[in-house]
Amino acid sequence: MPDHTRPPDKRATIYDVAAEADVSPSTVSRAFSRPSRVNSETAERVRQVAERLGYRTNPLARALTTSRTRMIALVIADITNPVYAGIVRGAQETAMHDEYTTVLIDAQESDRLERAAIERTMSTVDGIVLASSRMSDSAIRMFAKQRPVVVLNRAVADVPCVVTDNPRGVRRAAEHLGELGHDHITYVAGPQASWPNGIRWRSLLEAGMELEIKVRQIGPFSPTIEGGERAAEELRARPATAVLAFNDQMAIGLIRGLTRMGVDVPGDVSIVGFDNTLAADIVTPGLTTVAAPFYAEGSAATRHLLTMIEGAPGHAGRPMVLPVRLVVRHSTAVRRNAGRARPWVRQRQSANPATQLS
């Protein structure tokens, strides 16, 4: 004899509610998923019974027929990089606002891991945000064929993208250094495979042309403090008075490395970073850096993804570009050594000259 009393540890289903409210399961289902198809009094009664029984619609069961899970995947290259905190929060908050849940995937800078994790998760999510993906364009396009995908911090043809205005950021940094009298900027490169690294260098080349500032590149180095310290070593052999680093971590490594070598920042060398992470404000001297709107990035990418999930086409044409700004702190200063020769011969001078903020 089947026992129809539900064991108390199990969640109530529409069938339990239906029995209790004396309607059919379909009515219960509709009372929640499309209330307009149900008499409002009936719907109310159903809702009350459901409340009393602690009923919650099972998202998995729903997903089985609707193929909508209300989950999205957010794939980031490296969660230990503080840059992603803002992106994650922006994405998470935007998703949560529309009652979507975010699945976070940390690719740990590995193409292989990234792929495997997406492969495994793809069928469970309604869409994917790829933040700084390390995968090939073609791999990304392949995923984009199966699910809505938005790419962050990178431009991939035929896939909707959200990027920050790297050219403008670089340009502002170059202008700033130019105004301080620097006529030569060294770019300390990050990972060759990184899309922002490429565009930042190209933007610097271009800005150099227009502003009549000479530019060169050293690297690539690892985009970490250690990478920056190694870059400092290399800089010893080929001195500079103005440096633009791929990111803040490297800029901080540079400050450290140079300071240890007895080079004064910004007295002897001005340094500009990229990202405006928390650390930029903590390091001494405070790092002049190009601020990216991380929260807005995550938020914009997610919002766009959600509209695609709802059926919008997705502007695969031009990437969406978010504005950046230059935050001037104390790692940049007026160029002191007008002459070319031996720019790093120490001339004692104690404190950091004050610099105006923008």
**For DNA, the closer CB: 179 or 310:** 310
What is the rounded CA–CA span in Å between residue 165 and residue 169? Answer: 6
* Count of chain residues binding DNA (CB under 7 A): 33
Q: Are 197 and 220 in contact (CB under 8 A)?
A: yes
Looking from the CA of 68 toward its CB, the CA atoms found within 13 Å total: 10
**For DNA, the closer CB: 56 or 216:** 56
Regarding 33 and contact with DNA (CB under 7 A), the answer is: yes
Q: Which stretch binds DNA (CB under 7 A): 15-23, 181-189, 215-223, 314-322?
A: 15-23
Q: Out of 123, 136, 349, 358, which residue is the one contacting a second copy (CB under 8 A)? A: 123
Q: Out of 25, 82, 167, 198, which residue is the one contacting a second copy (CB under 8 A)? A: 82
Residues 35-74: x where in contact with a second copy by CB under 8 A, - otherwise, as a string: ---------------------x-xxxx-xx----x-x---
Q: Could you give the 3-state DSSP secondary structure of residue 307?
A: helix
Q: Out of 57, 110, 121, 217, which residue is the one contacting DNA (CB under 7 A)? A: 57
Task: Enumerate residues 199-258 that contact a second copy by CB under 8 A.
Answer: 225, 252
Handedness of CA 167, 168, 169, 171 (dihedral sign): positive
Q: Which stretch binds a second copy (CB under 8 A): 24-32, 111-119, 159-167, 183-191?
A: 111-119
Q: Are 140 and 133 in contact (CB under 8 A)?
A: yes
Regarding 61 and contact with DNA (CB under 7 A), the answer is: yes
Regarding 288 and contact with a second copy (CB under 8 A), the answer is: no
Show Cβ contacts of residue 153 under 8 Å, excluding neighbours closer than 6 positions: 131, 132, 162, 163, 164, 195, 196, 297
Cα dihedral: 292, 296, 298, 301 (round 10): -110
Regarding 124 and contact with a second copy (CB under 8 A), the answer is: yes
Residue 36 burial by Cβ neighbours in a 10 Å radius (0-12, 13-18, 19+)? exposed
Regarding 124 and contact with DNA (CB under 7 A), the answer is: no
**Least distance from a second copy to the Cβ atom of residue 47, Å:** 17
Q: Which helix (H) or strand (E) holds 217?
A: strand 214-218
Q: How far is CA 327 from CA 172, 255, 259, 281, 356, in A?
A: 10, 17, 22, 10, 10
Footprint on this chain of a second copy (rule: CB under 8 A): 11, 56, 58-61, 63-64, 69, 71, 79-80, 82, 85-86, 88-89, 92-93, 96, 99, 101-106, 108, 113, 117, 119-121, 123-124, 225, 252, 278-279, 282-284
